[in-house]
Chain A
Amino acid sequence: MHEFQVNVRAAIARARVRIKGTIQDPAWMIAEMIIPMFSIGGFILLYRALGAPASYSGFVIVGGTMIAFWTNVLWGMAAQFYWEKEVGNLEIYFVAPISRMAILLGMALGSIVTMVLRVFGIVLFGILLFNVSLNIVDPIAVAIIFTLTLASLYSLGMVFSSLYLLWGREAWKLNELLVEPIYFLSGFFFQIRGNVVVPLVLQFASSLIPMTFGLDGLRKVLILGQGLQSVLLEVSVLIAFSIALFVAAHYVLGYMENLAKKEGRLTLRWQ
């Protein structure tokens, strides 16, 4: 029980540090809300010029906000332990009597809180600037899909972070590699899964990414005005992804820590 309490304290503290560090820079927060407007605006204008249905503009807003989350998962979560190692923080986490998962979880929670603030801004700007309308009939379904999407995304971030414990620059490259293909595969701007013009292989690949289901689900409940009934598949897949990835993160982290202790790679400097 005591141990559990210590871990909860550590996770909350880690989350708070991240939130404080981020919101101390309001100008940057605002900038991060406005920057996505360029690509969002570009796609919206393109769709309108092509005479696409009005709902497509909504898809773009949803996709744009999810891109923000994905970028954050890659650079704020996955690369995090690598960065902590650089500044000497990893060592202090690993000599402390806490579960390393508590630190990862705290990091994820902190990120989610700051990201939700940002995303709220992006959606607001998008709606106001481009006159996009949402069509929500089931707010609970929205909350469920949104929460599960974030849970699965950040669990994936925790897996990456653990993998990157041992990799240095390689991790950077992998991160860069993961940006564009995931944008495409998960269908940020248009649907891949179930889309007749997209090859089946790609459709299959896209269904391996939790984000795909999150985006599909969000489109349905945010824009197409559907309810929980119609997103049951997305909900169950996202639950499965969240649990599996969280458990995987736990094992990968344990395995990587042990490997790092064996190979002497938990810290960068040794002189």
Chain B
Amino acid sequence: MSNSVEQQKRKVFDLKTIEVENVSRIFRISSEKEILALDDVSLHVKEGEVFGLLGPNGAGKTTLIKILATLLLPSKGRAFVAGHDVVKEPAKVRRVINLVSGGETPGYGSITTRENLWFFSQLYGLPKGESMKRIAKLSEDLALQEYLNTRTHKLSTGYRQRLNLARGLINDPKVLFLDEPTLGLDVITAKRIREIVRNRVKNGSGNSILITTHYMVEADQICDRIAIIDRGRMIALGTPAELKKMVSKQTIVSIETQPIDGGMDFMSSIAGVNGYSQTDEPSTGRIKLKVVLNEEGALQNVIHAVSARGRIFEIAKSEPTLEDVYIALVGKGFE
């Protein structure tokens, strides 16, 4: 009896592979200037979960990942990975993690892909047989086989990034940190990486992944839960569906217009407008506006205000996306 209660408790406890408690991080730039990169963030990641940190550039995503990966100390708060304090027991944390930073291509250019992977495996003390087995498996998963005997300075950036991902998986980490892993990658490689991410947490592997991205669609596709971060603060947390539900009472419209002189600042002052974002469409020279409205009635005001300043080509209502959640929360888009 008591045993099973114990077990159940253990299970609940074990479920959390990452715990972040009121973590803040300040960077001192000069004697006068400080940046609050993380502001009292609390969250946890469960076993078997792909957890996304979504936010614009400079939001604090990388800072949080670095703290969890024992590369940076928090200024305040505590964090645990696999039950170990990242500040007090970094060595224990390092045994169960790995980190892949998108855009980075570590390794040594004068040796081959296989030699690099073998080298990385030795940082985890893998015996030769095990190491070779994993290199074979990973190079198959990432379509690196034909380049195994190529010196890596001859590889294209895309393949060097694949190699970097293979490195991140070489120790089969229980907790994997992926910092913008698809940054600047071609669509095929990016898709492959997303598949690998989903496969790692499948059916009771006990693995979990913390991934940062500023691609909304990517976060929506692969994350079980998402924390939206803005200027160091966590402003929303939930499954993609839960997050989108936050804006289900609101109306989302896309408007295509000509570029408008004097910018879009007038939008914020229109009654009923919760937020908006704009993207240039270089192919047509037009501008795409995404507007989140508190009530459908406000659409009238928006159309009126926009058409007074420039020509409208198209208006459409759209289904809520994570981008709209962000716009609704912050009042503007990512860029």
Q: Which residue of A lies closest to B122 (CB)?
A: A13
A267 touches B111 (CB 8 A): no
> Nearest chain B CB to A269's CB is how many angstroms away?
8
Asked if A92 is an interface residue, CB under 8 A from chain B, the answer is yes
Expressed in whole angstroms, the Cα–Cα distance for A87 and B98 within the complex equals: 18
If A13-B118, A20-B110 touch, whether A91 touches B124 (CB-CB below 8 Å) is: no
B73 touches A262 (CB 8 A): yes
Asked if A10 is an interface residue, CB under 8 A from chain B, the answer is yes
Expressed in whole angstroms, the Cα–Cα distance for A14 and B125 within the complex equals: 12
Chain B hits for A17, CB < 8 A: 108, 111, 115, 119
Asked if B58 is an interface residue, CB under 8 A from chain A, the answer is yes
Interface locus among B1-9, B99-107, B199-207: B99-107
Chain A hits for B91, CB < 8 A: 97
B115 touches A95 (CB 8 A): no
Q: How large is the interface on A (under 10, 10 to 19, 20 to 34, 35 or more residues)?
A: 35 or more
A266 touches B124 (CB 8 A): no
A91 touches B104 (CB 8 A): yes
B94 touches A95 (CB 8 A): yes
B104 touches A88 (CB 8 A): yes
Q: Which of A21-48 contact B (CB under 8 A)?
A: 21, 24-25
Q: Which residue of B lies closest to A102 (CB)?
A: B123
Chain B hits for A267, CB < 8 A: 66, 71
B57 touches A88 (CB 8 A): no
A97 touches B72 (CB 8 A): no
Q: Which residue of A lies closest to B105 (CB)?
A: A88
Asked if B27 is an interface residue, CB under 8 A from chain A, the answer is yes
B106 touches A12 (CB 8 A): no
If A94-B71, A95-B69, A264-B72 touch, whether A12 touches B99 (CB-CB below 8 Å) is: no
> Nearest chain B CB to A28's CB is how many angstroms away?
11
A270 touches B107 (CB 8 A): no
Chain B hits for A230, CB < 8 A: none
B71 touches A261 (CB 8 A): yes
A96 touches B71 (CB 8 A): no
Q: Which of B66, B98, B105, B123 has the most CB of A within 10 A?
A: B123
Expressed in whole angstroms, the Cα–Cα distance for A6 and B73 within the complex equals: 25
If A9-B122, A95-B69, A261-B72 touch, whether A20 touches B104 (CB-CB below 8 Å) is: no
B108 touches A21 (CB 8 A): yes
Chain A hits for B66, CB < 8 A: 264, 266-267
Asked if B228 is an interface residue, CB under 8 A from chain A, the answer is no
CB-defined interface of B44-58 with A at 8 Å, one 1/0 digit per residue?
000000000000011
> Nearest chain B CB to A93's CB is how many angstroms away?
7
B71 touches A92 (CB 8 A): no
Q: What is the interface of chain A, defined by CB distance below 8 A to chain B?
A: 2, 5-7, 9-10, 12-14, 16-17, 20-21, 24-25, 87-89, 91-98, 261-264, 266-267, 269-271
Q: What is the interface of chain B, defined by CB distance below 8 A to chain A?
A: 27-28, 57-58, 62-63, 66, 69-73, 91, 94-95, 97-99, 101, 103-108, 110-111, 115, 118-120, 122-126, 167
24 contacts between A and B (CB under 8 A): A9-B125, A9-B126, A10-B125, A13-B118, A13-B123, A17-B108, A17-B111, A17-B119, A20-B110, A20-B115, A21-B108, A21-B110, A24-B111, A88-B105, A89-B106, A89-B107, A91-B104, A95-B71, A95-B94, A97-B95, A261-B73, A267-B71, A269-B104, A270-B63
